[in-house]
Structure formats: structure tokens, C-alpha cells
A and B are shown apart, each in its own frame.
Chain A
Amino acid sequence: MIPAILTGVRLHMKQASRNPFDLSGVIVWPILYASIAYYLLDAKNDPRLLLSASLGAAVMLMWSLVVIASSGALEQQRWQGTLELVVAAPTPLTAVIGPICIAGALVGAYAIGATLTWGALLFDVPVKVEQPLAFAIAIPACALAVGMLGLIMAATFVLYRASFHLGIATQYPVWIVSGLLVPISFLPDFVRPLSWVLAPTWGFRAIQEAALGGTPWPDIGMCLVLSLVYLAIGGSCLVAFEYVARARGSLRLT
């Protein structure tokens, strides 16, 4: 199973790196969100805030690519008529879909470089990482946790044929609740408990704390714990939803 996962991650990363849709997403979207944040937050004249906005915009993209990659890949396989073959293969579906999500998140990690470069070149945002080792570990930890959250989403995509639209619709709610550009303290109180169970919240905090100087390790730990929890939930949901889709005979429906 491990070789299947590693091969899947490698294959989907290659695919995403050659897909113009994903590439434009990696380059254009985070830069635009970061630019909007720079123009708006510039009023506060706080370089650390602008650096934090760069990282937040990158994690936003990471989540987007996970849902787009997983939902888009399933929709694509439906159209190509290969989804049934994938489901019928002896390899567990989790080992097929999990790598799609993780690869999406890892490609999204490129966006960190894009937003930091853009901010430094055009908006004079200082790029100084206080804890490089923690920063280097926080990025894959964040990608893993966000990717595993995507696995839970992907389970529902197996069941519904309009998976791509469902995936797209989850972007803004997760961005808001995770406090990526707007601190959670600015949001209504009922949002806080929701943010605790979402990987982007902890992944962003880990990267932010490592970059700005803080205590990133507990957040990195939370990313790993959440990854395991998501894997258990997502894997179980996939098995259950796969059974329902087989029973209904709806896998192939485009």
C-alpha cells in the first residue's frame, strides 16, 4: 500500500505540475489574494502582518488545490470511464484518492514561494524566517493535514456526480473559519470551535509561528494528530460511500 501511495503522490504531482489550470491557480490566485490583502492591510503599516497575509494566501491556495484536485480527478475519471476500474482494483480506494489530495496540497505549497517572492518584489514585504527548520517541517506537515482533510471531502465526491461544484463551494467557508487572512478573533464566537477541527487553522499557525518567531511545534503536532484522525474518518467514509455508490450503480453516471 505504501508504494501505491508514494507512486500516486509522485504521479499526481507530475500531472498537476503540467496542468495549466493548476499552474495558473498556483501562480495567479495566491498572488491576487495576497495583493488584495497588501492593499487593504497596508493601512496598518505592519510588515509582519503583510508577511502573515502572504502565508495565509498560500495556505488558502493549498486548500483550493486539494479540493479541486480531488473533485476534479474524480470527475475526470467519471468522464473517461475509468472510475469503475479504479474502484474495482484490489488497491484500497484510500490509497488511490489519498495521494491525489496530498499531491494537490504539496503543489499548493509552491504558492508559499510565489506569494513571498511577489510580496518582497512589489510590496517590500520583508521575507525573514525566524525558525527555518520548523518552517521547513511545518510546510509538509500542513500539506499532509490539509490533504487528509481533503480525503474526507473526496469520500463525498465518490457519491455525488457534481463533485467538482461541491468542492469549489467549500473554498470560502474553510478560508474564513480557518482564520487565514482574518484572525479568528474577528469572527463570530461560534466559528472558533469549528476552526479547531480544521487542518488549515493549525497548518497556517504552524507556518506563521515558524516564520514570525513563536512556538510552531505544538501546531505541527496538531497537524500530525489531525492527519491521523482525518485518515481514519476519510478512509471509513470512503469504504461506506463506495459501497453506497456500488449499490446505487451511480459510479459511472456523469
Chain B
Amino acid sequence: MNTLRVVFVGGLTSYRALFNWISPWIFIPHTLGYPIFEILFFVYLGRFAGVESDRFFLIGNAFLAIAVTGMFGMGHATAGERRSQTLAALLASPANRFAVFLGRALPSIVTGFFVATTSFAICAAILGVHVPLSSLSGLAIATAAAAFSCTALGLCLGALGLRGRNVSVFADVIAACMLLVSGANVPLEKLPGWLQTISSGIPLTHGIKAAREVANGASIAATSDLLLKELAVGGVYLAAGLFMLRLFEYDGRRTGSLETF
């Protein structure tokens, strides 16, 4: 029961703290405005290049919106605690670490899901892209799977935040690489073989592929292997993130470096 309280009450409190420093009037346009213009940018680039359809870029970049919120939300959780000098107090508490950080992950997942679906709907209306109503449930499942795997990767970044001072640089570089490697903007078959191998082991790739197949009329069952791969990738990152959290917390205590800016 206490673990659940830490997850939900702690998560809600940390999410509310977000609005202590950023007004919803800035937070909402920023979280929605960025992905909407990103989608439009790549759709027009695709039209100019004569490669793939508007729907291809719409789905790919709506999923990237999940990556941004999930990864950065989790990645900045520890950095934010350190910056406000509450990290040591948090880690000194006897609360279950998994519960503490899962509590911070849940709002990121929900935000990522909200941002992806809203920006998808707005851009579909702007660009005149039609997606059959029957495929919406499949798209929602693929979105949820991708949100989970991105947040799991964010947990790894958050753990690195216990060790490194400027994890946002690393998160920024990974987010940039995802633009290319996840298949969101470049068809995977156009990438070199070694890059395709990397793309199969990162979040988003399988989720985006599943979503595109669902939008083209495939059933959820037909894409279940892709969805399972996406969840499996997320599971691996989640396990790695939890291991890294434990390792770096121990190391941070040992070297007294938790509060280092």
C-alpha cells in the first residue's frame, strides 16, 4: 500500500511541482506546439523530396513526441531533484526506489500519450490525412507501448543523472538520433544495414512500424509481434534503468557526489 502511495501521490506531487515553475499557458503550447511544427516540417520535407506519404511522416513524428516527453521527463527527474537540492533528501528516505521513480515516470507516460494523440489529431486535420476509425484502437495500443519503452529509456537517462552532471546533453543527442534511426522520418530500408540493426534495438522503431501497419488497415493481431517487440525493448531498458539506479545511487553515496552540479 505504501509503495502504491509513493508511486501515485509522489508522482502527482512531482508533476504538480512542474507547474510551480512553468505556467500551463506556456507548458501546453510548448508540449503541443513543438511536435505539431515538427510534424509539419517533416511532412513538407517529404512532399518536397517526393518520398512516402503525409501519413508516413504524421505517424512517425507523432510517436517522436512520445520520445521527447517520456525520455526528457524521466531523464530530467533526477537532474531536477539535484538542481533543487532535494536529491540527497529523496535518496536518504527509505522509500522504494522503483516506486519513487515509477511515480515520476507515470506522468511522463500519460503526457507523452496525450501529446502524441493530440498532435496527431490536429495535424491530421491540418494536412487532410484520413485514418480509419477502426484503426484508432490499434494506434492507441501502439502509442501506449511506445510511451512505455521511451519512458524506460528515460529511466536509464535519469539513472545516468545520478552519475553525470549534464545528462540533458546525452538525452538531447539520443532524441536527435531517434529522428533518423527510429524510422520516423527515413524509411528503414534506406538506412545502411548497421544502422537498421541499431534501430531494431531502440524504443519507437517497432511501435511506429506497428502503427503504420494498423493505419494501413492491418488488425491488432497482425501487428502483435511488433507490439511485443516494442514492449520487450522497453522491458530491457526498464531492467537496465533499475540496475543503473541502484548502482549509481550506491556509487553516489560512496563518492559523495549526489549534490554535485
Q: Measuring CB to CB, which residues of chain A are less than 8 angstroms from any residue of chain B?
A: 20-21, 24-25, 28-29, 32-33, 35-37, 39-44, 79, 160-162, 165-166, 168-169, 171-173, 175-176, 181-183, 186-187, 254
Contact = CB atoms under 8 A, between A and B. Distances in A.
A interface majority secondary structure: helix
B48 A39 contact: no
A32 B178 CA distance: 10
B37 A32 contact: no
A224 to B, nearest CB: 28
Contacts, number: 94
Given A36-B186, A182-B44, A186-B44, A161 B49 contact: no
B172 A25 contact: yes
A32 B49 contact: no
Interface residues of B, number: 35
B33 interface: yes
Given A43-B49, A181-B45, A20 B176 contact: no
B50 A168 contact: no
Interface stretch (B20-28, B102-110, B154-162, B213-221): B20-28
A37 B51 CA distance: 11
11 contacts: A20-B169, A21-B169, A28-B176, A39-B180, A39-B191, A40-B46, A40-B51, A40-B185, A43-B49, A166-B30, A176-B41
A227 to B, nearest CB: 25
Interface of B: 21-23, 26-27, 29-30, 33-34, 37-38, 40-41, 44-51, 83, 166, 168-169, 172-173, 176-177, 179-180, 185-186, 190-191
A60 B224 CA distance: 39
A61 to B, nearest CB: 11
Contacts of B34: 168-169, 171-172
Contacts of B51: 40, 43
